Amino acid sequence: KAGVTQTPRYLIKTRGQQVTLSCSPISGHRSVSWYQQTPGQGLQFLFEYFSETQRNKGNFPGRFSGRQFSNSRSEMNVSTLELGDSALYLCASSMGQFPAYEQYFGPGTRLTVT
Amino acid sequence: GNSVTQMEGPVTLSEEAFLTINCTYTATGYPSLFWYVQYPGEGLQLLLKATKADDKGSNKGFEATYRKETTSFHLEKGSVQVSDSAVYFCALTGDTGNQFYFGTGTSLTVIP
B34, B43, B98: residue with CB nearest A102 = B34
B89–A99 C-beta distance less than 8 A: no
- For chain B, say whether A108 makes contact (Cβ under 8 Å): yes
Instruction: Evaluate whether A13 touches A21 at the Cβ level (below 8 Å).
Output: no
Average pLDDT on A43-66 reads: 93
Residue A27 in contact with partner chain B when CB distance is under 8 A: no
pLDDT band at A41 (very low <50, low <70, confident <90, very high): confident
CA dist A38 to B47, B63, B79, B104, Å? 21, 28, 30, 11
Does B104 contact A at CB distance below 8 Å?
yes
The pLDDT value recorded for residue B93 is: 87
Q: CA angle, A59 as apex, A55 and A65 as ends, to 5°? A: 60
Quick: pLDDT tens for A17-36.
Answer: 999 999 999 999 999 999 99
Per-residue pLDDT of chain B (112 residues; tens, 9 = 90+): 889 999 888 999 999 999 999 999 999 888 899 999 999 888 899 999 998 999 999 999 999 999 999 999 999 999 999 999 999 999 998 766 667 889 999 999 999 9
Nearest CA in chain B to A10: B41
Q: Does A50 touch chain B (CB under 8 A)?
A: yes
Partners of B18 in the β-ladder: none
Q: What is the pLDDT of residues B33-56, one digit of tens each?
A: 999 999 988 889 999 999 899 999
Mean predicted confidence (pLDDT) in A66-94:
96
Nearest-neighbour CA in chain A from B27: distance (Å): 16
Query: How many residues can be counted in chain A?
Result: 114
Query: What is the rounded CA–CA span in Å between residue A2 and residue B34?
Result: 22
Taking a contact as any Cβ pair under 8 Å apart, which residues of chain B between 44 and 103 contact chain A? 44-46, 49, 51, 89, 93, 95, 97-103
